[in-house]
């Protein structure tokens, strides 16, 4: 899921992580697909690169799980876009998932140790 | 779920919007529009992949993959039309036999009968009573009970009665015997039958004028009126009275009781007449209790439960009527009780029918098994041939499950095509059976249930017999299979294939072997006397009720016909009896001296008139037969057969013994004067003890004349017919046949079974031979290399040929051994069920086994030649 866009080395996304990122973005505001992709890239300071296309199966999956819902709207610059927003269920899920994620990254950090973690 | 509702277009729109937004953003950062568009596309990645995942998520993917599999399967089958054709043909034949058998089951067990609606709501209502021999519940009731039942059962939306009877109708000068039914006016309404033309009788017009109307069967209408609608209003002379046609029953209609409505001699009921016509058509029964008519049980009563009414309610009401009967007529109806029979009125003995049908389904199942073994075998061979293709697909990333599914879809496609062929063949088979073998009032329908059964069967066989080959085909060692040749792996597989062939040979041998048992039984001459009669005897069947003779005129007529026949030139002897040669007689109570009259034995009573023993070439084993003087007047002497003699008196001398023919002391007393051989019975029935008496105890309108001729009987049939018609042209002849024809008809269940089994056995054998041929060819192909080496090392052509032939003989012998075991088991089982079957004839079985091995040899001829023609240099160089 990596591309050769730009010179900077970018991280491929771990499976399942994308769902969490999408939910986290939508916690702030309702957003369309392109906006979500852009937000992920911006907030990760361009370290994480999401192939925009891969976003849609994830969105679809979340929609099927009733964590998010969608409706067509109009963007700031007047284009038609499909906006996603969290459902109450999604809100609960994002909190739970985020804390799990933090616990896991902390654990991985401890396993790797300070030297490697810095490298 | 909401996302499932999204269309492809909606999804494409979203992606379009995404690209537009991204392009906008990039342009805003200063990029040129074209460049921005390209960058947006690049950032998006593979759009096709995204759309595909969208489809997949929507569940459409399965269907699409299935379609893709089907397309692929079609291509694969088209590439090998020979394989496809043979497989479809084999499986199609196997399925057709099962479809046909199931169609019968369906027609008689599951479907509403022709012209009947919601048959499940219909019940038959019977009134039983206490008798000397316990509680008995006859199927018919008397007029008295019919009156009470039709008034007193509010739980039913209707109660109808019917009575089947033989009728005589004048068609073009000669009287013809047909079967008819007297039905209550609401009969057709109750069944829900719709007339094909005109109208039926109606409940409203029951009294008086209704007596003179008739409803025709569809068959009669077609045969005699060319299905013209102006048949309504025509007048027919039935018996001796005119009847006006008011309507026509729908095609195939036979009411509710196929066993009664369809007579094996004269076919299904042709005329439906109102109950009111009974006095005109039905002779008064020689009832001992004429005042009440309670002894004359003649009406079959059916009812349709009112919606919402329970069976218990109906039973309660019927029981109340029974109690009323028992109170009013304590002598005629002691302990009367009501019985309501559900069982859908499908058949009198549904359980028996079902057993018979399941029995019938066994053989089709065997054929299908053979066909399936064949298919599995072909699939295994095909899998070997395609191992490279499969290996390529697996190595290109197809999952094993996907390839297995692909192979199964291919098998399923074959099976469904075979199912289609099976339905066509079954239709043909059913029509052929109806035309040649079975008296059925209408075509056995192939309906949705039958089609569903066939489809299910086809898919089941595909799954059951396609799975193992598919799993084996995909268990390939990729690197190995991709290399050329890949010998060695074939042996393991050919063992399964060989086993399948052995099973096929065994099953077909068993089928043919069992069929020979039936052929033997059908052809066995049961006695020397019958052999002497083979083409020297004629039977003529009459029913004098058809012309309304009473006892006096009827007896007189019977005597005159007998005299006339005895006097015919070319006739050696003529006799008369109330039964045809192979009819079952039914038990008559009788007691020997010293036996309690209240506990009689029940034995067949055969009243014979004229020189019946002479006409049937029966001679006395001991004692003597009736003298001419004994043949007149009330019977005082009797002749018994050896079965009865030993049953009644064991070792004691039967001659001179006294027999009382009836339950009380007033009954006729006869003295035994002779013993004859066991009655010439049909092979599949147990012989029963018979008492012959001269003349009869009562007048019987149903009568059979026996004529023994000096020369060929067939040439005499017309003369005999003429002689009978000459006595009184009004009397219709039910049939006149040579004894050979009567016997053939009686034996037809056996001969039909025998020929059915034999032809199915031959089909199975052909399938087995094909399977053997396939396996041998495959083995030769697999061992090509080995054979090349052998030849190079000095093996002769003969050695190589022998190698293949040996294999064939081995498989054939294996099949014969297993087949012998199967056949023995099957015959043992059938001998337990069907009387008179002989054990397996060993010489015949030996000959058939040898024939099997010869078939195996023939099947091996081509593969053996191919093996012998292996060029050692070519095979070795190919390494």
Give the C-alpha separation, B509 to B128, whole Å: 51
Q: Which chain A residue is nearest to residue B26, measuring alpha carbons?
A: A38
The alpha-carbon gap from A42 to the nearest alpha carbon of chain B, in Å, equals 13
pLDDT at B267: 64
User: Burial code of B709-746, b = ≥16 C-beta within 10 A, e = fewer?
Assistant: beeebeebbebbeebbbebeeebbbbbbbbbbbbbebb
Q: What is the 3-state secondary structure (H, E, C) of A33-73?
A: HHHHHHHHHHHCCCCECCCHHHHHHHHHHHHHCCCEEEEEE
Highest-pLDDT range among B200-214, B638-652, B758-772? B638-652
pLDDT at B674: 93
Average pLDDT estimate for B59-79: 80
Better-predicted residue by pLDDT, B157 or B546: B157
CB contact (8 A) between residue A63 and residue B24: no
Give the C-alpha separation, B425 to B99, whole Å: 9
- Residue pointed to by tokens 């009032």: B441
Q: Which of B208-217, B586-595, B816-825 has the lowest mean pLDDT?
A: B208-217
Structural tokens at position B794: 């000095």
Average pLDDT estimate for B613-636: 88
H helix or E strand, kind and range, residue B716: helix B713-727
Interface of B with A in 657-676 (CB under 8 A): none
Q: Is B50 on the interface with A (CB under 8 A)?
A: yes
Give the C-alpha separation, B866 to B850, whole Å: 25
Structural tokens at position A50: 């999401």
Give the N- to C-terminal CA distance of chain B in Å, as an integer.
60
Structural tokens at position B459: 């898919």
Has residue B751 got a pLDDT over 90? no
Q: Smallest Cβ distance to B17: which of A3, A61, A79?
A: A79
Laid out side by side, the sheet with A80-86 consists of A31-32, A80-86, A68-74
Q: Would you tell me how many other CB atoms lie within 10 Å of the CB of residue B475?
A: 12
Q: B-chain residues within 8 Å CB-CB of A58?
A: none
Q: Which chain A residue is nearest to residue B21, measuring alpha carbons?
A: A34
SS3 B511: helix
Q: Smallest Cβ distance to A64: which of B3, B21, B25?
A: B3
Alpha carbon separation from A24 to A66, A75, A94, B800 (Å, rounded) = 15, 20, 7, 77
Q: Which chain A residue is nearest to residue B28, measuring alpha carbons?
A: A77
Has residue B569 got a pLDDT over 70? yes
Structural tokens at position B587: 């038990």
Q: Smallest Cβ distance to B17: which of A37, A69, A80?
A: A80
The alpha-carbon gap from B12 to the nearest alpha carbon of chain A, in Å, equals 11
Q: Which residue out of A52, A66, A81 would a mutagenesis test of the B interface target, given it has the greatest number of B Cβ atoms within 10 Å?
A: A52
pLDDT grade, residue B369 (50/70/90)?
confident
pLDDT at A117: 47
CA A57, B35, A7 angle in degrees (round to 5)?
75
Task: Yes or no: say if B475 and B742 are a contact pair by the CB < 8 Å rule.
Answer: no
SS3 B571: strand
Structural tokens at position B656: 């001179």
DSSP state, B108? I
Pairing mode, strands B733-738 and B156-171: unpaired
pLDDT in tens, B726-747: 998 888 888 888 888 887 777 7
Chunked mean pLDDT (size 10), chain A, 119 residues: 40 66 88 88 77 84 84 86 90 85 84 62
Q: How far is CA B534 from the centre of its chain?
A: 30
Q: Provide the mean pLDDT of chain B.
A: 82
Task: Yes or no: say if B416 and B455 are a contact pair by the CB < 8 Å rule.
Answer: yes
Residues of A with CB under 8 A from a CB of B: 3, 5, 32-35, 37-38, 51-54, 56-57, 60-61, 63-64, 69, 75, 77, 79-82
pLDDT grade, residue B558 (50/70/90)?
very high
Task: Yes or no: say if B787 and B870 are a contact pair by the CB < 8 Å rule.
Answer: yes
Give the C-alpha separation, B347 to B125, whole Å: 14
CB contact (8 A) between residue A34 and residue B14: no
Average pLDDT estimate for B53-81: 78
Reported pTM: 0.65
- Residue pointed to by tokens 């976003």: A55
B592 forms bridges with which residues in the sheet?
B659
Give the C-alpha separation, B736 to B872, whole Å: 74
Q: Which residue out of A3, A39, A56, A59 would a mutagenesis test of the B interface target, given it has the greatest number of B Cβ atoms within 10 Å?
A: A56
ipTM over 0.85: no
For chain B, what percent of residues have pLDDT higher than 90? 12
Better-predicted residue by pLDDT, B476 or B715: B715
Has residue B529 got a pLDDT over 50? yes
SS3 B301: strand
pLDDT grade, residue B1 (50/70/90)?
very low
Q: Which of B439-453, B742-756, B814-828 has the lowest mean pLDDT?
A: B742-756
Pinpoint the alpha helices (H) of B578-675.
Answer: 612-615, 642-649
Average pLDDT estimate for B559-584: 89
The alpha-carbon gap from B509 to the nearest alpha carbon of chain A, in Å, equals 60
């Amino acid at each position: 899921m990596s591309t050769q866009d730009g010179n900077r080395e970018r991280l491929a996304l771990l499976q399942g992580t994308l769902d969490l990122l999408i939910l986290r973005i939508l916690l702030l505001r309702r957003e369309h697909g392109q906006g979500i992709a852009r937000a992920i890239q911006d907030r990760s300071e361009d370290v994480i690169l999401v192939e925009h296309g891969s976003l849609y199966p994830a969105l679809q999956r979340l929609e099927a799980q009733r964590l998010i819902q969608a409706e067509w709207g109009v963007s700031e610059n007047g284009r038609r876009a499909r906006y996603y927003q969290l459902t109450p269920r999604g809100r609960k899920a994002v909190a739970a998932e985020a804390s799990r994620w933090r616990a896991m990254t902390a654990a991985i950090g401890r396993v790797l140790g300070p030297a490697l973690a810095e490298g | 779920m909401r996302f499932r509702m999204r269309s492809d277009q909606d999804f494409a729109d979203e992606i379009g919007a995404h690209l537009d937004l991204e392009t906008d953003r990039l342009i805003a950062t200063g990029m040129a529009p074209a460049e921005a568009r390209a960058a947006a596309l690049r950032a998006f990645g593979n759009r096709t992949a995204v759309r595909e995942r969208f489809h997949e998520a929507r569940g459409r993917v399965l269907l699409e993959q299935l379609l893709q599999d089907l397309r692929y399967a079609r291509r694969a089958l088209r590439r090998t039309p020979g394989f496809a054709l043979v497989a479809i043909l084999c499986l199609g034949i196997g399925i057709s036999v099962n479809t046909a058998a199931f169609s019968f089951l369906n027609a008689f067990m599951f479907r509403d009968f022709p012209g009947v609606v919601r048959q499940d709501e219909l019940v038959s209502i019977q009134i039983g009573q206490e008798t000397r021999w316990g509680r008995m519940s006859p199927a018919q009731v008397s007029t008295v009970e019919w009156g009470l039942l039709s008034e007193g059962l509010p739980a039913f939306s209707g109660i109808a009665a019917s009575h089947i009877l033989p009728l005589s109708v004048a068609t073009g000068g000669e009287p013809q015997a047909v079967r008819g039914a007297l039905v209550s006016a609401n009969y057709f309404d109750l069944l829900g039958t719709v007339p094909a033309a005109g109208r039926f009788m109606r409940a409203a017009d029951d009294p008086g004028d209704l007596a003179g109307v008739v409803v025709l069967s569809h068959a009669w209408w077609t045969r005699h009126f060319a299905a013209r609608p102006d048949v309504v209003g025509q007048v027919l002379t039935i018996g001796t009275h005119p009847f006006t046609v008011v309507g026509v029953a729908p095609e195939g209609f036979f009411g509710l009781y196929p066993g009664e409505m369809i007579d094996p001699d004269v076919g299904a009921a042709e005329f439906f007449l109102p109950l009111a016509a009974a006095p005109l058509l039905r002779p008064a029964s020689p009832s001992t209790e004429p005042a009440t008519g309670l002894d004359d049980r003649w009406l079959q009563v059916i009812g349709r439960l009112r919606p919402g009414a329970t069976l218990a309610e109906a039973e309660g009401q019927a029981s109340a009527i029974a109690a009323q009967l028992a109170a009013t007529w304590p002598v005629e109806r002691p302990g009367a009780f009501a019985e309501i029979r559900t069982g859908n009125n499908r058949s009198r003995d549904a359980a028996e029918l079902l057993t018979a049908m399941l029995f019938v389904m066994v053989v089709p199942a065997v054929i299908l098994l053979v066909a399936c073994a064949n298919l599995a075998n072909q699939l295994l061979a095909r899998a070997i041939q395609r191992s490279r293709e499969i290996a390529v697909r697996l190595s290109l990333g197809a999952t094993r499950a996907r390839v297995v599914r692909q192979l199964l879809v291919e098998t399923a496609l074959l099976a469904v095509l075979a199912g289609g062929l099976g339905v066509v063949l079954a239709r043909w088979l059913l029509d052929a059976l109806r035309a040649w073998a079975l008296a059925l009032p209408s075509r056995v329908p192939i309906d949705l249930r039958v089609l569903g059964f066939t489809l299910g069967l086809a898919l089941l066989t595909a799954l059951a017999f396609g799975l193992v080959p598919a799993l084996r085909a995909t268990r390939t060692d990729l690197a190995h299979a991709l290399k050329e040749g890949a010998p060695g792996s074939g042996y393991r597989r050919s063992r399964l294939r060989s086993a399948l062939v052995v099973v096929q040979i065994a099953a077909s041998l068993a089928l043919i072997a069992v069929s020979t048992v039936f052929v033997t039984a059908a052809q066995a001459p049961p006695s020397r006397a019958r052999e002497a009669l083979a083409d020297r005897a004629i039977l003529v069947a009459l029913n004098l009720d058809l012309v309304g003779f009473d006892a006096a005129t009827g007896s007189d007529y019977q005597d005159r016909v007998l005299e006339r026949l005895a006097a015919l030139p070319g006739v050696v002897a003529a006799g008369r009896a109330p039964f045809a040669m192979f009819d079952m007689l039914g038990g008559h109570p009788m007691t020997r001296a010293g036996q309690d009259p209240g506990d009689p034995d029940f034995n067949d009573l055969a009243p014979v008139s004229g020189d019946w023993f002479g006409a049937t070439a029966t001679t006395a084993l001991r004692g003597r037969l009736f003298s001419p003087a004994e043949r007149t007047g009330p019977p005082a002497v009797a002749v018994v057969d050896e079965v009865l003699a030993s049953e009644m008196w064991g070792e004691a001398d039967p001659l001179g013994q006294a027999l009382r023919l009836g339950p009380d002391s007033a009954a006729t007393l006869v003295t035994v004067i002779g013993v004859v051989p066991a009655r010439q019975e049909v092979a599949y029935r147990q012989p029963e003890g018979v008492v012959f008496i001269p003349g009869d105890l009562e007048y019987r309108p149903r009568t059979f004349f026996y004529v023994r001729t000096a020369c060929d009987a067939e040439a005499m049939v017309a003369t005999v017919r003429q002689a009978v018609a000459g006595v009184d042209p009004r009397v219709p002849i039910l049939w006149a046949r040579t004894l050979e024809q009567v016997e053939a008809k009686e034996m037809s269940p056996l001969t039909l079974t025998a020929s059915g089994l034999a032809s199915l056995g031959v089909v199975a054998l052909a399938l087995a031979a094909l399977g053997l041929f396939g396996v041998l060819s495959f083995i030769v192909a697999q061992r090509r290399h080995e054979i090349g080496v052998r030849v190079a090392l000095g093996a002769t052509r003969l050695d190589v040929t022998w190698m293949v032939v040996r294999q064939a003989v081995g498989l054939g012998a294996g099949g014969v051994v297993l087949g012998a075991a199967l056949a023995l088991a099957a015959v043992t089982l059938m001998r337990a069920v069907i009387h008179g079957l002989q054990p397996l004839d060993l010489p015949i079985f030996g000959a058939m086994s040898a024939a099997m091995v010869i078939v195996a040899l023939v099947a091996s001829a081509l593969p053996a030649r191919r093996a012998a023609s292996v060029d050692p240099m070519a095979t070795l160089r190919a390494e």
